[in-house]
């Protein structure tokens, strides 16, 4: 066995090409011949002076011999890669496990049986099947992506769902730990790390096209009807300065990382949990100003005609509600303002389930009013509000005590103007509670220095703060209290989606510095969410209420492994097979309507 180099010249361009093949000498009826075993490409991976040693190491690995003098580590590592390629390329499907085929037996040395190259395939196979249900590979081909680009794109998306991490870690995972390459019939060791970075750049220009395609195919696949559009925004913080990213801005971070620049992700979701539209905005984007553009983007959606818009208080400004009414949209929102009246139409009635202990009642309104208001009281929210109120009070009073204590220190600030400025900044810092306090500043006779500071809580104002009650407002005047509250409560799905992307899909923090790379990172996460929702929705329809982390934990133990053994004639038998599905795994496959068989067994004798 040796490595043969072949050189060819293009007659048109005159350019010279070289290729390397692993060949072996065989005896035939016409005499000795050379048989090509493996195409090794233009670059073998080692200098030509080491080709002989590499071929010898490959031969030793194939027959299971150990050389007295070990080969260099880089030779052994490269030889193992080529042996793996040979086993996969030369192997053929083993159909003799079928009941209608005769059994095939072989004499092997049981003491020589070994297993190698275990690769996880369970969760990867599941996500690939979801992508195939949505015909995503075909759509990527229609968009002009090459075979290599399609495989790299699917690898990046599925890795985000199965093993979310940085591109560098994902690259190592695809090459050394995952069997996704076998499932796609693609060798991820042939691409560079930079290609994995670039694939997000290549997918980003097709964002709007892919989103429209995915929402259409999801609707047709499941046959659901959408009547709601749930809209919300979140932001994710970034590591580093991101000075070349025009969207990276300082703002109010959802994770309280106000020391970091942010980017904002806005999304519209239907009541079934599927995404309609997403938008990547600057980190300091004004939430209310984003509504009109996102709602207009839904007008081309064939299955979603004039949906009911559900918003939280941050977006539900008077101007936005007026725009919705003028454009004939129904809406139900969390009110930013107090209701014009507190006179209820009836007694408070339970509107939530046992986990959401909420009572609500409609507020009386004029007969010609185009809106209804709903007063809600939540026991759980009241408990949280009480704890928050106590925390806010303690923080505000502790800071006041620090200012008062500084008046007694020799070098403490005592000048009236400076003390008043400190108190002003403190009130702005604790603006959610400072308005419920009366702060008095005592000055010296000359009016220059402050002698003491006192404060008193105004209990009447405190009782109105963070009470656990809130208002909803809507122009669906024909619905009752329970129906309105349940419609609004669907907005929690968006909050759950944001939380899931951040915790389980590695949405944040963002380590990229370039704008296109940041946008690509978020876009890959959104596509991964589509695949996961495709899976979870089908399970839910069949009564399986699993979260993705549970599904992933159940299914990810399935692996693909190579079993090798020495045969009686001295050759070695290689079997590449997948572990069998069992227990809960089989239940998942049945619920999703996909086969538990992963690739089947392949065998070769060398």
Q: Above 90 in pLDDT, residue 431?
A: no
Give the mean pLDDT of the chain.
Answer: 89
Q: Above 80 in pLDDT, residue 63?
A: no
User: What confidence tier does 363 reach under pLDDT thresholds 50, 70, 90?
Assistant: very high
CA R_g for the chain: 33
pLDDT in tens, 203-217: 999 999 999 999 999
3-state helix, strand, coil in the chain (%, to 5): 40, 25, 35
Judge whether 582 lies within some domain. yes
**Number of structural domains found in the chain:** 3
Do residues 427 and 455 lie in contact, with contact meaning Cβ atoms separated by under 8 Å? no
Q: Tell me, what's the pLDDT at 96?
A: 47
Q: Which of 411, 410, 404, 400 is nearest to 450 (CA)?
A: 404
Range of the domain at 599: 110-119+561-605
Q: Is the same domain home to 115 and 47? A: no
* Residue bearing the bigger pLDDT, 65 or 393: 393
Q: Is the same domain home to 17 and 45? A: yes
Q: Which of 472, 506, 538 is the last residue of a domain?
A: 472
Q: Which of 283, 252, 243, 242 is nearest to 265 (CA)?
A: 283
DSSP 8-state assignment for residue 345: S
pLDDT in tens, 125-151: 999 999 999 999 999 999 999 999 999
Mean pLDDT computed over 485-500:
92
pLDDT exceeding 90 applies to what percent of the chain?
55
Q: Above 70 in pLDDT, residue 354?
A: no
Structure tokens at 23: 């060949």
Q: Above 60 in pLDDT, residue 98?
A: no
Q: Tell me, what's the pLDDT at 83?
A: 81
Dihedrals φ, ψ of 574, to 5°? Answer: -120, 125
Residues 410, 390: Cα–Cα separation, whole Å: 33
Judge whether 150 lies within some domain. no
Angle at CA of residue 508, ends 502 and 512, nearest 5°: 150
pLDDT in tens, 564-580: 899 988 888 889 999 99
3-state secondary structure 588-605: HHHHHCCCCCCCCCEEEE
For 397, other C-beta atoms within 10 Å of its C-beta total 15
Q: Above 70 in pLDDT, residue 90?
A: no
Judge whether 353 lies within some domain. yes
Judge whether 184 lies within some domain. no
User: What confidence tier does 304 reach under pLDDT thresholds 50, 70, 90?
Assistant: low
Residues 70, 65: Cα–Cα separation, whole Å: 11
Q: Is the same domain home to 457 and 428? A: yes
pLDDT in tens, 176-188: 999 999 999 999 9
Q: Is the same domain home to 115 and 71? A: no
Structure tokens at 148: 């290599």
Residues 405, 409: Cα–Cα separation, whole Å: 7
Q: Tell me, what's the pLDDT at 337?
A: 83
E strand or H helix that includes residue 36: strand 31-41
Residues contacting residue 465 through CB under 8 Å, at least 6 positions apart? 389, 432, 433, 436
Alpha carbon distances (Å) from 599 to 95, 561, 602: 12, 12, 8
Do residues 566 and 52 lie in contact, with contact meaning Cβ atoms separated by under 8 Å? no
Judge whether 465 lies within some domain. yes
Q: Above 80 in pLDDT, residue 101?
A: no
CA atoms within 13 A on the CB side of 558: 27
Residues contacting residue 47 through CB under 8 Å, at least 6 positions apart? none
* Residue bearing the bigger pLDDT, 377 or 62: 377
Judge whether 225 lies within some domain. no
Q: Is the same domain home to 114 and 22? A: no
Q: Is the same domain home to 352 and 460? A: yes
Q: Which of 472, 487, 502 is the last residue of a domain?
A: 472
Residues 80, 57: Cα–Cα separation, whole Å: 9
Q: Which of 8, 131, 44, 31 is nearest to 529 (CA)?
A: 131
pTM, 2 dp: 0.82
Q: Is the same domain home to 403 and 459? A: yes
Q: Is the same domain home to 465 and 350? A: yes
Q: CA-CA-CA-CA torsion for 233, 239, 243, 247, nearest 10 degrees? A: -10
Judge whether 49 lies within some domain. yes
Q: Which of 438, 472, 506 is the last residue of a domain?
A: 472
User: What confidence tier does 278 reach under pLDDT thresholds 50, 70, 90?
Assistant: very high
Q: Is the same domain home to 39 and 114? A: no
CA atoms within 13 A on the CB side of 210: 25
Structure tokens at 450: 């402050």
Q: Which residue is listed with tokens 């699993």?
A: 546
Residues 117, 179: Cα–Cα separation, whole Å: 10
**Which SS3 state, helix, strand or coil, does residue 423 take?**
helix
Q: Above 60 in pLDDT, residue 303?
A: no
Judge whether 386 lies within some domain. yes
Structure tokens at 385: 């509000």
Residues 489, 445: Cα–Cα separation, whole Å: 59
Q: Is the same domain home to 425 and 460? A: yes
Q: Tell me, what's the pLDDT at 319?
A: 93
Q: Tell me, what's the pLDDT at 69?
A: 73
Q: Is the same domain home to 468 and 568? A: no
Q: Above 80 in pLDDT, residue 558?
A: yes
Residues contacting residue 267 through CB under 8 Å, at least 6 positions apart? 231, 232, 233, 275, 276, 277, 278, 279, 494, 497, 526
Q: Is the same domain home to 357 and 424? A: yes
């Amino acid at each position: 066995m040796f490595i043969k180099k072949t050189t060819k010249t293009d007659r048109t361009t005159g350019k010279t090409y070289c290729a390397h093949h692993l060949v072996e000498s065989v005896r035939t009826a016409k005499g000795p011949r050379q048989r090509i075993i493996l195409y090794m490409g233009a670059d073998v991976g080692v200098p030509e002076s080491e080709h002989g040693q590499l071929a010898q190491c490959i031969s030793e690995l194939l027959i299971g011999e150990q050389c007295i003098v070990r080969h260099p580590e880089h030779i052994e590592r490269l030889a193992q890669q080529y042996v793996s390629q040979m086993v996969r390329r030369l192997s053929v499907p083993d159909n003799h496990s079928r009941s209608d085929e005769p059994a095939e037996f072989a004499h092997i040395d049981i003491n020589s049986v070994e297993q190698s190259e275990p690769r996880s395939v369970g969760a990867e196979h599941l996500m690939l099947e979801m992508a195939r249900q949505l015909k995503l590979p075909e759509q990527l081909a229609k968009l002009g992506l090459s075979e290599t680009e399609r495989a790299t794109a699917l690898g990046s998306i599925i890795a985000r769902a199965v093993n979310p991490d940085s591109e560098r870690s994902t690259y190592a995972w695809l090459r050394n730990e995952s069997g996704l390459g076998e499932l796609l019939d693609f060798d991820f060791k042939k691409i560079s790390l930079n290609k994995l970075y670039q694939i997000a750049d290549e997918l980003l220009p097709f964002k709007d096209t892919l989103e429209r395609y995915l929402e259409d195919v999801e609707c047709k696949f499941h046959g659901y009807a959408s009547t709601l559009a749930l809209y919300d925004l979140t932001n994710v913080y970034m590591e580093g300065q991101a000075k070349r990213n025009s969207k990276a801005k300082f703002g109010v971070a959802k994770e309280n990382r106000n020391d970091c620049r942010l980017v904002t992700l806005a999304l519209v979701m239907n009541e079934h949990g599927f995404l309609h539209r997403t938008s990547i905005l600057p980190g300091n984007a004004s939430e209310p100003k984003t509504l009109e553009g996102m709602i207009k983007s839904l007008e081309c959606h064939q299955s979603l005609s004039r949906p009911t818009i559900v918003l939280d208080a941050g977006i539900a400004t008077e101007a936005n509600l007026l725009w919705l009414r003028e454009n004939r949209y129904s809406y139900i929102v969390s009110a930013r303002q107090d209701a014009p009246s507190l006179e209820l139409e009836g007694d408070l009635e339970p509107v939530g389930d046992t986990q959401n202990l909420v009572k609500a009642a409609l507020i009386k309104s004029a007969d010609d009013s185009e809106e209804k208001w709903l007063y809600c009281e939540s026991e759980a929210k009241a408990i949280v509000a009480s704890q928050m109120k106590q925390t806010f009070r303690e923080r505000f009073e502790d800071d006041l005590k620090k200012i008062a204590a500084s008046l007694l220190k020799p070098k403490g600030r005592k000048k009236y103007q400076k003390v008043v400025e400190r108190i002003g900044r403190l009130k702005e810092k604790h603006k959610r509670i400072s308005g419920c306090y009366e702060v008095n500043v005592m000055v010296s006779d000359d009016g220059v220095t402050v002698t003491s500071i006192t404060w008193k809580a105004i209990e009447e104002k405190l009782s109105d703060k963070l009470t656990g009650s809130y208002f909803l407002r809507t122009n669906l005047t024909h619905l009752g209290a329970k129906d309105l509250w349940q419609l609004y409560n669907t907005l929690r799905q968006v909050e759950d989606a944001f939380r899931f992307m951040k915790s389980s899909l590695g949405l944040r923090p963002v380590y990229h510095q370039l704008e296109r790379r940041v946008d690509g990172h978020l876009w890959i996460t959104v596509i991964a969410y589509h695949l996961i929702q495709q899976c979870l929705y089908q399970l839910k329809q069949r009564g399986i209420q699993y979260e993705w982390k549970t599904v992933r934990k159940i299914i990810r133990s399935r692996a693909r492994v190579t079993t090798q053994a020495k045969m009686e004639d001295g050759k070695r038998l290689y079997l590449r097979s997948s572990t069998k599905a069992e227990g809960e795994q089989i239940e998942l496959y049945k619920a999703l309507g996909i086969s538990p068989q992963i690739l089947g067994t392949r065998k070769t004798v060398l």
